[in-house]
Amino acid sequence: MRKPVFILVVLCLATFLVNAQEKSNVKFGKIEPKDFDIQSALIDSSTNAIVIADIGSTYFEGNTKGWFSLVFKRIKRIKILNEKGFEAANISIDLYSSGTDAEKLDDIKAYTYNLENGQIITSKLESKNIFEEKHLKTTIRKKFTFPSIKAGSIIEFSYTLRSDFLFNLQPWAFQGEYPCLWSEYETNIPDFFGYVFLSQGYQQFHIRQTNDRNDNFTIRQMSGATMSSSEPIRISSITHDTRLVMKDVPALKEEPFTTTVSNHIAKIEYQLSQFRFPNQPIQEFMGDWKKVGDALAKRENFGLAINANNGFLDDEITLITKGAKTKEEKCIKIYEFVRDNFTCTRFSGMYLEDKSLKEIFKKRSGTTAEINLLLVAMLKHASIEANPVFLSLRNRGVVHSIYPLLDRFNYVIALAQFDSSNVLLDASRKMLGYGKLDPSCNNGTAWVIDNKNPFSINISSDVMIDSRNTFVLFSNEENGKYEGTVKSTFGYYESYGYRDKLTDTKPESHQKILARDLGTDWEVSNFSIDSLQLKEYPISVKYDLTHNLSEDIIYLNPMFGEEIKKNPFVAAERNYPIEMPYRQNEIFVLDMEIPKGYAVEEIPKSVRHMLNADEAMFEYICVKSAQRVQLRCRIVFNKANFPKEDYASLREFYSFIIKKQGEQIVLKKSN
């Protein structure tokens, strides 16, 4: 798969200069009637709003704490095209907080402009309508909604964000849910601070300009009961200015077979890597996974907890593992105990939160991180080599394969290691079997957190495969009815999904849905599900079909409801890759006795259709003899990830399958 390439560049490197003098014509607070008339090829029938300009900048300034602060400024102007675009008027701004310190938001200004009878009517956001909430443990969220919104409104806002957290240099997304005519971001970074930036996406920069200049900073230290200021310290540095502009950026909307669009939007992020002050040794911040492992091993809510004696587990482990003869048998018993007896309160997190492992064990509940860290501790207590594994779920986004950027991870599972195998375990999801993961975990690089020898593993959808086998047998019965039996055996992932669905619905409901899809000519009976509670095994669904044949001509779809009914690729084009959760191998086999009193007038023609030579195959073989019609239909995907260039071919591939699977056998009464 051609993934969005992360480009790592130290900011002092030179880049090329294109149209460096070109500027946006948007000036905050200055708007004319002609500005409401926006003509752009980016606007089509699905466009609900368009970003006219989004302009941001970050610079450093000396503060009164004897150090530096980041200052981020932003101006954004949007036109609302219709009522579906009202969502663009809901603004959220996240501020990082740690302990009593937090980023500060200043100078929020927001206006709505409406053009009425040739006059611009301005509505101002009142400060009392700006709300604050604690979003996460380290995040304060400011929220507001623009007043007087209607179709055709132009909205704009500006603010300044001040931060003493130098590691939190603001990222910038050039692309998003709405098309953008002009997106610009400028950074001014003193040479004291080394940042690495990660750039991704498929859009080209319209302007990419860098410049070095001499700069001066004034730093003060406030101290004493009267908060008097010390003498200012003035220091000089080379400052690296970078200006990045993208123009006429199309919207990027989420489509089927997408991990998350955040993997593919054009954006840039920054990671603090070094302090570089004159006459001082360079201070490194990014480190490596070995240093991360050492640091995590010393955290009370992580390494210290799982590596502690945990004596409260002594009797419990003895009881749970009773009868187990090998380490892996012990592992299976411990895993099943945790999976079946603990309730997950949130499927995310990487550390223990407010509870100890003993409390989690007693309460039988916790987050994914808490449950799986308890699992690791229990395995270690049973003398099984085990470690936590950090990963990012598919809807969170991909992680960098080398750099330990921990804020990109959001999930923890366990790894149990034996002499001949390694087993990945997630005990937070009750429907998972031993050694199985939810498809949302199939997201590439994950890291095993071992302070002695951390290492990466690849949990890729391209190495995961799911199968489905369906067999249909029809025959003439002595009672004059035409009866058949359908049996489908799902692959592991589909079985897992089916079990999950049945936590909310009864099997009888699935029978009703099946009968509805087949139509009134068919009677569905004896519906059963096999191996529903055996979570390591595939599910089989079995049912009988009966048809009272009476019409002179019968049109019969030989797929009996198992055909693909809708193309997952609806859009005419796609600007980012196709990411399926796993590879597929589906086989459908029909063996039907020709109904008494009927002759086969017509059957579908056999065909084999390939995608990119051998990356996917659709096979449809239909033959008839004097007494029977037989069909073998197979769909095989030999890979799960496809580059955007393959989108049109994939769309056509599915269209071909749908058309072919929709063809019918024609039966006509014999004379």
pLDDT tens by residue, 562-590: 899 999 999 888 889 999 999 999 999 99
Assign 227 a pLDDT band (cuts: 50, 70, 90). low
Which range, of 425-429, 543-547, 653-657, averages the lowest pLDDT? 543-547
Residue 14 has pLDDT above 60, yes or no: no
pLDDT at position 222, please?
72
Reading the block at residue 556, the tokens are 């019969």
Assign 4 a pLDDT band (cuts: 50, 70, 90). very low
Residue 27 has what DSSP assignment? Answer: B
Reading the block at residue 433, the tokens are 């079997």
- Angstrom CA distances, 258 to 5, 570, 616, stand at 17, 14, 18
Give me the mean pLDDT over the 378-383 stretch.
96
Residue 90 has pLDDT above 90, yes or no: yes
Instruction: Give the integer Cα–Cα distance in Å for 156 and 146.
Output: 9
Instruction: Give the integer Cα–Cα distance in Å for 123 and 109.
Output: 11
Assign 5 a pLDDT band (cuts: 50, 70, 90). very low
Instruction: Give the integer Cα–Cα distance in Å for 574 and 8.
Output: 26
DSSP 47-61: --EEEEEEEEEEEEE
Which residue shows structure tokens 């409390």? Answer: 359
Residue 281 has pLDDT above 60, yes or no: yes
Q: What is the pLDDT of residues 461-485, one digit of tens each?
A: 888 899 999 999 999 987 778 899 9
- Angstrom CA distances, 95 to 90, 363, 671, stand at 17, 33, 81
CATH code for the domain defined by 289-459: 3.10.620.30
Amino acid at 399: V
CATH code for the domain defined by 465-669: 2.60.120.1130
Assign 229 a pLDDT band (cuts: 50, 70, 90). low
Nearest to 314 by CA among 365, 358, 368: 358
Residue 593 has pLDDT above 80, yes or no: yes
More confident residue, 162 or 21: 162
Residue 561 has pLDDT above 90, yes or no: no
pLDDT at position 105, please?
95
Global pTM reads 0.82
Give me the mean pLDDT over the 192-216 stretch.
93
- Angstrom CA distances, 211 to 95, 241, 244, 471, stand at 30, 5, 12, 68
pLDDT at position 609, please?
96
CA angle 344, 349, 352 (to 5 degrees): 80
Give me the mean pLDDT over the 207-222 stretch.
92
- Average pLDDT for the chain: 90
pLDDT at position 17, please?
44
CATH code for the domain defined by 7-284: 2.60.40.3140
Assign 533 a pLDDT band (cuts: 50, 70, 90). confident
pLDDT at position 16, please?
42
Instruction: Give the integer Cα–Cα distance in Å for 66 and 232.
Output: 9
Which residue shows structure tokens 């004034």? Answer: 218
pLDDT at position 649, please?
96
Assign 638 a pLDDT band (cuts: 50, 70, 90). very high
Domain residue limits, the chain: 7-284, 289-459, 465-669
Q: What percent of the chain has pLDDT over 70?
A: 94
Residue 619 has pLDDT above 50, yes or no: yes
Q: What percent of the chain has pLDDT over 90?
A: 70
Category of 524 on φ-ψ map: left (φ > 0), alpha (ψ -120 to 50) or beta: beta
Do 205 and 18 meet the contact criterion of CB atoms below 8 Å apart?
yes
DSSP 437-476: --GGG--EEEEE--SSS-EEEEE-GGG-EEEEEEEEEEEE
